[in-house]
Chain A
Amino acid sequence: MGQTPFIEVNQAIVESGGVDLNACMQCGLCAAVCPWREVAGEFLPRLMIRQGQLGLEGYESDDVLFGCTTCNKCVINCPREVDIIGVMRAMRSLVVESGGAPETLKAVLGSCHANGNPWSEPREKRMAWSEGLEVPAFTPDKEHLLFVCCTSCYEQRSQKIARSLVELLNRAGVSYGVLGPEQNCCGESVRKIGDEALFQKLAKANLEMFQAHGVKKIITTSPHCLQTFSRDYPALGGEYQVIHSSQLLAELAAAGRLPLSASDGRKVAYHDPCYLGRHGGVFDPPRAAISACGVQVVELEREKEFSLCCGGGGGRVWMETPPEQRFSLLRVQEAAAAGAQVLATACPYCVSLLEDSRKTAGLEDLRIMEISELLAENLG
């Protein structure tokens, strides 16, 4: 018995925002460039789209529909300029709306609902990361709002990123402040997971907060916050300037506002986070910031547009991936093989996953560092 296409599903995907669904001509380039090919993964974006076009079953599983890390590699390569991530997001939303999200992600969504963060941590503890540091509260006279990623607020390894950054900001005399427990998760991953309603709720709360406090400029510690603030929020009424910490640090270093020793002789490789590089087009400032402390930069083979995803986007950071299928494992091995002593990056998800894989791979001599951490270590 043949299968009968269910065109209503096709239409529903288009209506849920997957407007490019039918533009796909099934050439398969996306499947070929998708990082899942590097680990023999079963997820094929082309097939997922095909099933969506015909409304056929088979894509809903955790490993297929929820396999996408939203790394954007396929999107920038698609000859038809299909917004593959948009299609995937729409397909996920149909599944999530009917309660079919993977179990781990249900917990993440639930926590965002209840606590305003995906880590199932109490809202009040949002400032735990800053213990013992002097971190000013945001007031209208402050130039920047520092928007610390939930991951760096709660996860122990990640807190060091935020702590290093404020140390640098303080030394450079940047006018900034934080808003603490009032802040909600930016919702970037929530949206990619497919919970559009929850994303709207989080975004509205944040926008109201920006409005109420008169926020004009935002520094984000995560490229994910950066992207959703600059791409998604404006459609909901957001009006402000937003910059990623690595961009600001590059500016500060260039202006001589960071007292850096410039004598760190280590070999440092830089891992381009997908949301800063491929999504945001920010490739040079992080490199400039790294170079400011006198390290030897080693370029990885898969760099810039060709960077290898760490595996953490699109909600994957909360999902279980067997070690042999972790892109981050390939990445730390690549860095070690290139002779790097430090693998620097600029995203809390990347730091978490690369750090995990470094341990798995037993690479004692390799350090995973966020750029702020690297610079803070070199403050004179």
Chain B
Amino acid sequence: MSQDRPNNHPEPKVGVYVCHCGGNISDQVDVEQVARQAAGLPGVTAARHYSFMCSDPGQQMILEDLTSGRVDRVVVASCAPALHETTFREVLRRAGLNPYLYEHANIREQVSWVHHGPGATAKATALVAAATAKARELAPLMPIRVAATRHATVIGGGVAGLTAALDLAARGVEVALVETTPFLGGNLALLDRTFPTNEAAADLLTGLARRVLAQERISLYTCARLTGFSGYVGDFHLSLSQAPPRDDETLERLARFGEPGPECQPFRGVLPVAPPNAERRIELNTGAVVLATGFRHYQPPEGEYGYRQSSRVLTLPEFIALMAAIPAGQPLAFEGSPVASLALVHCVGSRQIPGIHEPPPGRELNQHCSRVCCTASLQAAGEARERFPETTIYELYRDIRSYGRGHEDYYLKASRSGVVFARFNPEDPPRVEADDSGDNPLKVTVKDTILAGEELELGVDLVVLAVGMEPGPVAELTQLMKLPQGADGFLQEVHPKLRPVELASGGLFLAGTCQAPMDVGEAASAAAAAAVKAAGLVTRGQVELEPFVATVDLARCDGCGDCVAACLREGALTLIETAAGQKARVEPALCLGCGVCVAACPAEAIQVAGWSLPQFRAMVQAIAQSGAEQGGQA
């Protein structure tokens, strides 16, 4: 503390700025009093309060105190640091000072929003005293700079992965595109004409594949699997293993391709290059990774709406393929017999409700809306009515969510084409039964909420299930890369609004339906965003990281290794041999700054920069003192 300060160090001059946040803080906290109390604290040379510290005049107030030399370190007492800590650090930078000579006191989320009455002011005063005490102990810090490899890896070769790879390459980044199957195109390849433009999926994919194959900066690894992952943002090490395809379905699909090339075969995809004929390991150094692993169609368990009990119960993708296989002008037929009527059921495997739906063994319910299946169903139904006017179509839905631009047109078109809609409640889902008595092999019974709960009996020849989207099979990947998943199983971004395509770990990005159900346009937007973020990171040549990482005081460290044993992050702490014996060494780019090592070290030889033990002690003492003074006053 101050008496320990070497004489040649000038006494720090702390400026304290208390924000009203409109009335958000000042309605509960006596901000004037907090500022007055702060003015009396040791080292404080300016203490002010203002309606909005983050506003231009608020920042100007701080800047003037800094440039006039009145203060040389800053405490702002306002909202949560997540919102404006960087704003205020920038002010220090603008004044030509080290931005880490800054301490933040949260007196909104931690005070005015949760405490009312005099206690609120007392707590705010104590938090400001603590921040001020710490501020006096702050030392300038330098951000950690790590070199970034000008290379990015995209995992997944669906429309999102292809788009991300192209956008990265266009920004001058070398790209590795990794796909588990021999094919490009993902699930889009299994569609016919796509809403909202009616473009053929195969045309879209051929266009993308052509550009990918022509792009020299993209290296393609098909039939490849990630087997190793280490390193950190800017400098990841990836191990891939490529193997010849073995499963029957893939082999059968492969047999239908001739020469590899960018041409997309409808319902099969693109075979860009010949699959490898021997196993191979590939090591990659990459600066950023874009995950584009996509989704998987929900597979109804046997018996759900008669699935797999009757061959006449299809999923929507199966029905789309069935329609596409019928030559123009021919009526709709299934297994050789005409389809006079069919029923489409919405929300199959989506929007499941605990207590109503049963999760399959070992799996969670899909409580999310898959977003695309309404429009896809409406599109299929409208097209079927147009092509096969003799076929009656019933569409059984819970809600119609044709949310996107142009999607509503499919609803209108399906309606106008004579599709008969019925709306059911999830508690009373349609029942599908075999029916030997009637004209049609299947009978669907639905309680129509539009008709005040009247039961309708529909004789049909086919039932089509609008299956939803589930997270793809990424267990292996999440394990290896420690990827966070939401409760719905999809990969989860840091912040849904402010950082929608970034993962919490630096250098990892999300593109497309691995994150949530999206249509192609949305998946492509996300992919473009992820590509720009990743390119922005690797093309700077280096990455700046926050300096709040462990630092070893080599004089105190006796090399016992307790810290290394306690460390949570592999590779962040190691023991090295030095001339002075064994010492702990920190890899700053990997260190989480969590402080576990600080607690483990018996010699107080390791500290987290910006959160050192002397700083904590100063804070604790200030809080205790503030409490005692205020207790005395009360």
B456 near A23 with CB under 8 A, answer no
The count of residues in chain A whose C-beta lies closer than 8 Å to any C-beta of chain B is 21
A80 near B415 with CB under 8 A, answer yes
A3 near B411 with CB under 8 A, answer no
A5 near B416 with CB under 8 A, answer no
> Which residues 111-146 of A sit at the B interface, judged by CB distance below 8 A?
none
B236 nearest CB across to chain A (Å) = 51
> Which residues 414-463 of B sit at the A interface, judged by CB distance below 8 A?
415-421, 423, 445, 450-451, 454-459
Question: With a CB–CB cut-off of 8 A, which chain B residues contact A7?
Answer: 392, 420
Task: Return 17 A-B CB contacts under 8 Å, by A number.
Answer: A1-B457, A2-B457, A3-B455, A3-B457, A4-B459, A5-B394, A10-B418, A10-B420, A20-B416, A22-B415, A22-B417, A22-B420, A25-B415, A26-B450, A50-B451, A54-B420, A80-B415
Instruction: Indicate if A53 sits at the interface (CB-CB under 8 A).
Output: yes
- Bound CA–CA A360/B596 (angstroms): 90
Report the contact-size class of chain B (Cβ under 8 Å from the partner): 20 to 34
Question: With a CB–CB cut-off of 8 A, which chain B residues contact A297?
Answer: none
Give A46's nearest chain B residue, CB to CB. Answer: B450
Give A7's nearest chain B residue, CB to CB. Answer: B392
- Bound CA–CA A268/B415 (angstroms): 46
Instruction: Indicate if B412 sits at the interface (CB-CB under 8 A).
Output: yes
> Which residues 182-205 of A sit at the B interface, judged by CB distance below 8 A?
none
The residues of B with any CB-CB pair to A shorter than 8 Å are 392, 394, 400, 411-412, 415-421, 423, 445, 450-451, 454-459
Question: With a CB–CB cut-off of 8 A, which chain A residues contact B450?
Answer: 26, 50
- Bound CA–CA A95/B254 (angstroms): 61
Instruction: Indicate if A262 sits at the interface (CB-CB under 8 A).
Output: no
Given A7-B392, A23-B412, A25-B411: A2 in contact with B418 (beta carbons within 8 A): no
Instruction: Indicate if A14 sits at the interface (CB-CB under 8 A).
Output: yes
Given A50-B450, A80-B415: A25 in contact with B457 (beta carbons within 8 A): no
B392 near A25 with CB under 8 A, answer no
Counting chain A CB atoms within 10 Å of each CB, which of B411, B419, B451, B457 scores highest? B451
Question: With a CB–CB cut-off of 8 A, which chain B residues contact A50?
Answer: 450-451
Instruction: Indicate if A24 sits at the interface (CB-CB under 8 A).
Output: yes
Question: With a CB–CB cut-off of 8 A, which chain A residues contact B420?
Answer: 5, 7, 10, 22, 53-54
Q: A1-B455, A4-B457 are in contact. List 8 more A-B contacts (CB 8 A).
A: A1-B457, A2-B455, A3-B457, A10-B420, A23-B416, A25-B400, A25-B411, A26-B423
A29 nearest CB across to chain B (Å) = 14
Interface of B, secondary structure class, is strand
Given A50-B451, A80-B412: A25 in contact with B421 (beta carbons within 8 A): yes
- Bound CA–CA A80/B459 (angstroms): 29
A4 near B454 with CB under 8 A, answer no
Question: With a CB–CB cut-off of 8 A, which chain B residues contact A20?
Answer: 416
B81 nearest CB across to chain A (Å) = 47
Question: With a CB–CB cut-off of 8 A, which chain A residues contact B421?
Answer: 25-26
Contact with B along A22-58 (1 / 0, CB 8 A): 1111100000000000000000000100100110100
A4 near B416 with CB under 8 A, answer no
B374 nearest CB across to chain A (Å) = 13
Give A55's nearest chain B residue, CB to CB. Answer: B420
- Bound CA–CA A14/B416 (angstroms): 10
- Bound CA–CA A80/B413 (angstroms): 11
B418 near A14 with CB under 8 A, answer yes
B456 near A54 with CB under 8 A, answer yes
Give B394's nearest chain A residue, CB to CB. Answer: A5
Give B445's nearest chain A residue, CB to CB. Answer: A2
Question: With a CB–CB cut-off of 8 A, which chain B residues contact A2?
Answer: 445, 454-457
Give B414's nearest chain A residue, CB to CB. Answer: A22
B418 near A4 with CB under 8 A, answer no
A28 nearest CB across to chain B (Å) = 9
Give A2's nearest chain B residue, CB to CB. Answer: B455
B451 near A54 with CB under 8 A, answer yes
- Bound CA–CA A23/B412 (angstroms): 7
Contact with B along A327-353 (1 / 0, CB 8 A): 000000000000000000000000000
Question: With a CB–CB cut-off of 8 A, which chain B residues contact A23?
Answer: 412, 415-416
A3 near B415 with CB under 8 A, answer no
- Bound CA–CA A47/B450 (angstroms): 8
A4 near B415 with CB under 8 A, answer no
